[in-house]
């Protein structure tokens, strides 16, 4: 037996996720994501027209050139869910591999959108959809299973590789949420069964590993209650109402829609990413928007909608992009007076998203909120819960699947190490059965490892 886990991206940063698993001569790649922080730094970069080697040099996408040294045949490229830090590099890298792209229906629809927008490379990989709870044979000895998970985007799964030498679970990203509207709860029963079968290795996210205050991540029903309270009065007065959240957070979009449809206001979803994520979710029957709603993505359509709202703000709820204060996104542009809609005294702004922690986001968000307040807006910030497992969720997960080995991922060195410390509380040991990898490093499991 020889199993090798190769860290390509996401082991020195949050994002840019890409991992390869080699089982004898078969190779399975998981995720091809982008590093969102680097894109913020290069705001004027047209990624669709850039070469992959340039993006690798800038640290935007994973450096997969090391795969040239891996002696094996890539059997599949598997995607855990549709966030850009997991699928954003697919159009730049997938064409190098003679292998199908595998994901859930929503994830593969987003991947097709990524590929369609590509201007530099022709991506002709076949695309295979696999539903949660289903299996796909990848080679004579390897079967892929998608186990139902929950996250802040629909149809997130735990990809599970069944091999002759044990199970490998790829757990990027997840939370344990039993009360979502658009997604069923995680399949705890199946996870426990897999744990009994024997898990060789767990590759697991570390997003909240350093957050000692976040013992367990709250369910999405918590922001539902918060948003109901926050939106009740603004919906019934004659002031403007803007709500901003992640475009990909279809669960949150559904909540906002359900609350707003009880009023007489029309709901306007504004921005290109809103059009992309909501349009696909609605077409697949995942998102159910009310009749008094409309989606506008192109700049002209957005400006027309904003002009209508400016004429009578009491008739509309504006749901926009730009919760991080990104200068080119819609809400920061509204705050800067660059659109037909002008924020006025008493208008209500609800921010249903946290500040993603880095200095650029913190500065942008501060500037945006300062401008909105200067215009007289009332701001209700952070009506949100995390889409990532808390420390106690991770502890429960480890007890559920009982991995022989753990490889922390999706974080910088301090986050990976923090997860290792959590694992040590559960009887594991860093350097023994918890393996801290850096990008371009590999962990090899030979016969003696599990003896």
Tens digit of pLDDT for each residue in 229-243?
Answer: 999 999 998 899 999
How much is the pLDDT for 451? 36
Four-residue CA torsion sign, 12, 18, 7, 421? positive
How much is the pLDDT for 42? 33
Tokens of 132: 């949660």
Least confident of 105-119, 150-164, 424-438: 105-119
How much is the pLDDT for 1? 67
Residue spans of beta strands (DSSP E) within 2-156: 2-9, 18-23, 26-30, 73-78, 101-103, 127-129, 135-137, 143-148
**pLDDT band (50, 70, 90) for residue 40:** low
| Whether pLDDT at 305 is above 60 | yes
**pLDDT band (50, 70, 90) for residue 192:** very high
**pLDDT band (50, 70, 90) for residue 307:** very high
Query: What is the Cα–Cα distance from 226 to 381, expressed in whole angstroms?
Result: 11
Residue 48 buriedness (CB in 10 A; 0-12 / 13-18 / 19+) = middle
Query: What is the Cα–Cα distance from 303 to 340, expressed in whole angstroms?
Result: 6
Question: How large is the average pLDDT for residues 421-426?
Answer: 95
**pLDDT band (50, 70, 90) for residue 447:** low
Four-residue CA torsion sign, 278, 46, 113, 90? negative
pTM of the complete model: 0.92
| Whether pLDDT at 250 is above 70 | yes
How much is the pLDDT for 49? 66
Which residue has 């003696």 as its token pair? 448
Give, for 42, the enclosing helix (H) or strand (E).
none
| Whether pLDDT at 181 is above 60 | yes
CB atoms within 10 A of CB 278: 25
Mean pLDDT of the chain: 91
Query: What is the Cα–Cα distance from 321 to 299, expressed in whole angstroms?
Result: 13
**pLDDT band (50, 70, 90) for residue 45:** very low
**Measured between alpha carbons, how far is residue 322 from residues 60, 108, 329, 351 in Å?**
21, 25, 5, 9
Question: How large is the average pLDDT for residues 57-84?
Answer: 91
How much is the pLDDT for 2? 87
CB atoms within 10 A of CB 50: 17
| Whether pLDDT at 228 is above 80 | yes
């Amino acid at each position: 037996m020889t199993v090798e886990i190769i860290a390509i991206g996401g082991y020195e940063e949050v994002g840019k996720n890409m991992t390869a698993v080699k089982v004898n001569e078969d190779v399975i790649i998981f995720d091809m994501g982008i590093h969102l922080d680097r894109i913020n730094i290069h705001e004027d970069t047209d990624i669709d027209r850039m070469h992959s080697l340039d993006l690798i040099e800038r640290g935007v996408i994973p450096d997969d050139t090391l795969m040239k040294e891996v002696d094996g045949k890539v059997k599949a490229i598997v995607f855990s869910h549709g966030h850009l830090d997991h699928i954003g590099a697919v159009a730049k890298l997938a064409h190098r591999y003679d292998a199908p792209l595998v994901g859930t229906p929503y994830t593969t629809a987003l991947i097709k959108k990524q590929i369609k927008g590509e201007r530099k490379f022709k991506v002709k990989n076949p695309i295979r959809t696999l539903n949660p709870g289903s299996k796909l044979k990848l080679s004579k000895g390897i079967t892929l299973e998608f186990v139902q998970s929950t996250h802040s985007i629909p149809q997130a799964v735990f990809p599970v590789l069944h091999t002759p030498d044990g199970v490998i679970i790829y757990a990027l990203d997840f939370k344990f949420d039993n009360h979502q509207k658009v997604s069923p709860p995680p399949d705890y029963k199946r996870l426990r069964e897999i744990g009994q079968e024997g898990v060789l290795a767990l590759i697991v996210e570390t997003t909240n590993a350093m957050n000692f205050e976040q013992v367990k991540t709250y369910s999405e029903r918590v922001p539902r209650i918060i948003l109901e309270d926050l939106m009740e009065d603004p919906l019934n007065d004659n002031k403007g109402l803007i709500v901003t959240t992640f475009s990909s957070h279809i669960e949150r979009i559904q909540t906002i829609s359900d609350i707003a449809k009880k009023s007489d206001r029309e709901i306007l979803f504004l921005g290109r990413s809103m059009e992309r994520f909501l349009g696909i979710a609605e077409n697949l029957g995942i998102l159910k928007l009310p009749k008094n709603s409309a989606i506008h993505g192109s700049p002209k359509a957005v400006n027309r909608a904003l002009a209508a709202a400016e004429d009578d703000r009491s008739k509309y709820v504006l749901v926009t992009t730009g919760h991080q204060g990104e200068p080119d996104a819609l809400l920061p542009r509204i705050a800067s007076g660059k659109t037909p809609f002008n924020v006025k005294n008493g208008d209500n702004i609800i921010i249903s998203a946290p500040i993603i922690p880095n200095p650029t986001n913190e500065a942008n968000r501060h500037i945006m909120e300062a401008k909105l307040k200067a215009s007289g807006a009332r701001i209700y910030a952070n009506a949100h819960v995390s889409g990532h497992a808390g420390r106690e969720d991770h502890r429960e997960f480890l007890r559920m699947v009982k991995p022989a080995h753990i490889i922390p991922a999706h974080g910088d060195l301090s986050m990976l190490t923090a997860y290792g410390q959590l694992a040590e509380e559960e009887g594991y040991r860093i350097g023994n059965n918890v393996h801290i990898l850096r990008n371009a490093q590999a962990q090899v499991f030979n016969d003696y490892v599990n003896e």
